[in-house]
Amino acid sequence: METNPFTAILPSASGLQKLTCGASDWTPADETVQAGDSYYWYELTQDGVHQWRLLASWPEQLSVTTMLPGGINTVLYVQNPVIEMLIDDWVGHFAPTREFTDPAGVRHRLWQVTEAPVNADLTETLAKITPRKTWLTTTSTPLVMLVADQEWAKFKQQPTIPEQLIKIQVNTD
């Protein structure tokens, strides 16, 4: 897969409060641009079940075969031990960048991978992985959630991802 780290726009403190309450009156003050290009580990927890996803940029000229159409496309791949090890190491040593529980009781946690060598390892590892074919195809988007098959199978009904959780900072140069 051709993926890369990216500069993200995440909820600010006021944005997290709105996500927690389910408020829809989003303003520019509810967002903050993160420093540097990073991958993001994303953990969803519902009824004690955890699911891990990796958020990455995806070349806009490539089409993506996805599980869910939407702002962030979800791409399945066969579980990879290197990625699992990197998730375990990163999450085990650093606090989440953002964390909240939505009105449906789903806990959302994001970790920003800030070390360039780890981001490079992820890019190299992902380059060798072929996404699994699925049944829905959408137009290309610059942001994808990569989910291992075993992780996807954890939920019969996938939790809703708030639209404002994470966005990609688009360069206007």
Tokens 């290009």, located at residue? 37
Do 5 and 56 meet the contact criterion of CB atoms below 8 Å apart? yes
* More confident site: 87 or 69: 87
* More confident site: 142 or 151: 151
Residues 123-141, mean pLDDT to the nearest whole number: 76
Q: What is the pLDDT of residue 31?
A: 96
The pLDDT tens digits for 82-108 are 898 988 888 888 999 999 999 999 999
Please name the amino acid found at residue 167.
Answer: K
Q: How far apart are the first and last CA of the chain?
A: 26
What is d(CA 57, CA 168) in angstroms, rounded to the nearest whole number?
Answer: 8
If we measure between CA atoms, which residue out of 158, 151, 91 comes closest to residue 118? 91
Contacts of 81 (CB under 8 A, 6+ apart): none
172 pLDDT exceeds 60? no
Lowest mean pLDDT among 17-21, 68-72, 93-97, 103-107: 68-72
What is d(CA 155, CA 49) in angstroms, rounded to the nearest whole number?
Answer: 8
63 pLDDT exceeds 80? no
Contacts of 50 (CB under 8 A, 6+ apart): 43, 44, 154
Average of per-residue pLDDT values in the chain: 88
10 pLDDT exceeds 60? yes
Residue 163 DSSP one-character state = T
Residues 23-41, mean pLDDT to the nearest whole number: 95
If we measure between CA atoms, which residue out of 100, 117, 94, 90 comes closest to residue 159? 100
If we measure between CA atoms, which residue out of 172, 170, 168, 171 comes closest to residue 57? 168
pTM over 0.85: yes
60 pLDDT exceeds 80? no
What is d(CA 155, CA 151) in angstroms, rounded to the nearest whole number?
Answer: 8
